[in-house]
């Protein structure tokens, strides 16, 4: 059986977990303390009330003497201000007859044994004490309503401060946790700012010992990353010079060999035109042409590989302010001279004088060069490549469409500029369109190319935080290919 897929880990906050954990533990401890306090208070109140019953019973000894002097017939003592919570008493003989009672006591003896001690009845808690006279007993009853009210009031007085302290404890826990996590938040902010060309070490933040090791490790990692990126950039730059020179020399030698072969063939033909055996083989020139063509292809492939290496090494991570329009015009002029009778690259800028964006100027030039070369190579001869530049304070209307697209970047932010590049070509299958930005994937195998142009463009677009969308066919048409680039505009000059 296959194992079930792992559930995605839900994001959580350390401060929230600490606050909940500490607050839960404190409230749990307070709940235990509250129960213990309530139990102890109930025990103490019961003991104090029992002492009061015993004291009242002892004080009623005089009533036994008065009863002996007055004789029978005076069995009810009428007391003023009798309440439901007032004590009740009875004086009985050994046979259980009530000789004297309070007005709130029942006429029949409390149903308890005539033995010294405390007894619990449904309505009263009764204390029985033998009187000084041998055949007399004193019974004092306390209404359970009074005992319950007194116990509850005492428990409430003891527990209410504990319960009332819970909100204060919760607020204090939040304040202490947030204050304790301030160094971690500062470290988080500093680390969040790293990347996108910022590989500076994290400054000293007066961190605790537990976080200072993280800061040291992050600074060490940033230093190693900076050295690695510098080494890769240096390698790409050195490799560009080291590889271009031998390839250029090889191309020059092949071209000279072809020119010499043609001169030799022409001289032999002029000296002895009737002798075909003196002419070189017929396929020598074709072989030299094929060699020169392959050298040109090798030169272009090496150049693309070096561009891809530079892009992967992070050459486009800078966040400088530059004007996008001159870069686009310079690249277009290099690929398609404007003095041609029928220029193939047509640029529309909507009367924009300048368009400042954030990114790296050189990387933007490499990006446009690869996209325009790709458009020229895969469009029919004498067809035009249309470039349209717009600027707005939100996502441009040209970038909102329901057509199938291959997106190379997260959704763009506000204050953006959109550049679209369109060329004519047969429509591409959706599966091929989704893989078109992978290295060595070509839209048309019969067309000359290395399959690296869009991969380089995608890498640079991701590093420059540019949204790159690919469409085929062009929205609203049945064929064609379109690339949309959404740049982050630079803030207005202040």
Q: Are 458 and 374 in contact (CB under 8 A)?
A: no
* pLDDT attached to residue 196: 53
* pLDDT attached to residue 421: 93
Task: For the chain, 494 residues long, give each residue's pLDDT as a single digit of tens.
Answer: 455 555 677 788 888 888 889 999 999 999 999 999 999 999 999 899 989 888 888 888 777 766 665 555 456 766 666 777 788 888 888 888 888 888 888 888 898 998 889 999 999 999 998 887 778 898 999 998 888 898 999 999 989 998 888 899 999 999 998 888 888 888 888 888 776 567 788 888 888 887 888 888 888 888 888 787 777 767 766 766 677 677 777 777 777 777 777 777 666 655 555 555 444 555 677 777 778 777 777 777 777 777 766 666 666 667 788 899 999 999 998 887 665 667 788 899 888 888 888 888 888 888 898 899 888 888 888 888 999 998 874 444 444 443 445 554 444 445 688 999 999 988 888 888 888 888 777 767 666 666 778 888 888 888 888 899 999 889 989 889 999 999 988 887 75
Token code pair at residue 432: 């091929």
* pLDDT attached to residue 389: 92
Q: Are 320 and 360 in contact (CB under 8 A)?
A: yes
Helical (H) or strand (E) element with 358: strand 356-359
Helical (H) or strand (E) element with 149: helix 144-180
Q: How far apart, in whole angstroms, are the C-alpha atoms of residue 457 and residue 320?
A: 18
Token code pair at residue 469: 């969308």
Contacts of 49 (CB under 8 A, 6+ apart): 125, 142, 147, 150
* pLDDT attached to residue 63: 72
For residue 403, give the nearest of 350, 462, 337, 477 by alpha carbon. Answer: 477
Token code pair at residue 443: 């839209």
* pLDDT attached to residue 413: 47
Tell how far CA 144 is from the center of its chain: 61
Residues linked to residue 141 through DSSP beta bridges, in sequence order: 88, 126
Token code pair at residue 218: 């992050």
Question: What DSSP string describes 311-349?
Answer: HHTTTT---EEEEHHHHHHHHHHHHS-TTSSS-SEEEE-
Domain boundaries, the chain: 14-172, 195-267+282-315, 318-488
Cβ neighbour number for residue 358 with a 10 Å cutoff? 18
Q: Is 287 helix (H, G, I), strand (E, B) or coil?
A: helix
Measure Cα distances from 449 to 299, 431, 442, 454 in Å: 12, 20, 8, 11
* pLDDT attached to residue 412: 42
Tell how far CA 229 is from the center of its chain: 27
* pLDDT attached to residue 397: 42
Token code pair at residue 464: 């420059």
Cβ neighbour number for residue 172 with a 10 Å cutoff? 14
Question: What DSSP string describes 189-248?
Answer: HHHHH-BTTB-PPPPP----HHHHHHHHHHHHHHHHHHHHHHHHHHHHHHHHHHHHHHHH
DSSP state of 489: B
Q: How far apart, in whole angstroms, are the C-alpha atoms of residue 129 and residue 217?
A: 82
Token look-up 């271009």 returns 244
Note the CATH architecture for domain 318-488.
Answer: 2-Layer Sandwich (3.30)
Q: How far apart, in whole angstroms, are the C-alpha atoms of residue 456 and residue 306?
A: 10
Q: What's the start-to-end Cα distance of the chain, in Å?
A: 65
Q: Is 482 helix (H, G, I), strand (E, B) or coil?
A: strand
Q: Is 16 helix (H, G, I), strand (E, B) or coil?
A: helix
What global pTM score does this model have?
0.50
Q: How far apart, in whole angstroms, are the C-alpha atoms of residue 489 and residue 482?
A: 22
DSSP state of 277: G
Measure Cα distances from 24 to 18, 21, 159, 170, 179 in Å: 10, 5, 18, 9, 19
């Amino acid at each position: 059986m296959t194992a079930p897929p792992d559930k995605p880990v839900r994001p959580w906050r350390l401060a929230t977990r600490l606050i909940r954990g500490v607050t839960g533990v404190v409230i749990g401890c307070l709940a235990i303390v509250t129960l213990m306090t309530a139990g102890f208070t109930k025990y103490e109140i019961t003991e104090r009330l029992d002492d009061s019953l015993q004291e009242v019973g002892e004080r009623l000894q005089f009533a036994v003497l008065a009863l002996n002097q007055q004789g029978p017939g005076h069995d009810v003592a009428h007391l003023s201000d009798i309440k439901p919570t007032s004590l009740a008493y009875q004086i009985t003989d050994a046979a259980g007859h009530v000789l004297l009672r309070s007005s709130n006591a029942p006429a029949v003896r409390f149903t308890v044994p005539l033995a010294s001690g405390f007894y619990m009845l449904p309505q009263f808690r009764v204390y029985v004490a033998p009187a000084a006279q041998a055949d007399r007993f004193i019974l004092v009853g306390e209404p359970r309503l009074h005992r319950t009210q007194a116990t509850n009031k005492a428990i409430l007085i003891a527990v209410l401060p504990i319960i009332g302290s819970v909100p204060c404890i919760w607020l204090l826990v939040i304040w202490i946790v947030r204050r304790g996590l301030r160094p971690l938040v500062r470290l988080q902010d500093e680390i969040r700012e790293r990347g996108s060309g910022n590989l500076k070490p994290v400054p000293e933040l007066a961190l605790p010992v537990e976080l200072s090791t993280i800061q040291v490790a992050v600074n060490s990692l940033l230093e190693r990353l900076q050295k690695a990126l510098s080494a890769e950039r240096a390698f790409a730059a050195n490799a560009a010079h080291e590889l271009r020179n031998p390839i250029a020399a090889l191309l020059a030698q092949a071209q000279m060999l072809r020119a010499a072969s043609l001169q030799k063939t022409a001289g032999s033909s002029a000296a002895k035109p009737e002798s075909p055996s003196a002419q070189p083989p017929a396929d020598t020139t074709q072989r030299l042409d094929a060699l020169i063509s392959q050298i040109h292809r090798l030169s272009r492939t090496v150049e693309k590989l070096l561009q891809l290496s530079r892009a992967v090494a992070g050459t486009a991570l800078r966040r400088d302010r530059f004007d996008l329009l001159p870069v686009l015009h310079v690249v277009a002029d290099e690929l398609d001279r404007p003095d041609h009778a029928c220029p193939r690259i047509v640029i529309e800028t909507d009367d924009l004088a300048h368009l400042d964006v954030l990114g790296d100027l050189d990387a933007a030039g490499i990006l446009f060069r690869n996209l325009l070369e790709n458009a020229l190579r895969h469009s029919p001869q004498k067809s035009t490549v249309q470039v349209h530049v717009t600027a707005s304070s939100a996502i441009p209307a040209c970038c909102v469409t329901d057509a199938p697209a291959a997106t190379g970047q997260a959704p763009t932010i506000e204050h953006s500029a959109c550049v679209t590049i369109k060329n004519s070509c047969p429509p591409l299958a959706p599966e091929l369109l989704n893989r078109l930005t992978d290295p060595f994937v070509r839209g048309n195998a019969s067309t000359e190319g290395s399959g690296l142009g869009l991969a380089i463009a995608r890498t640079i677009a991701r590093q420059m935080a540019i949204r790159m969308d690919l469409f085929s066919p062009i929205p609203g048409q049945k064929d064609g290919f379109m690339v949309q680039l959404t740049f982050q505009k630079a803030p207005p000059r202040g």
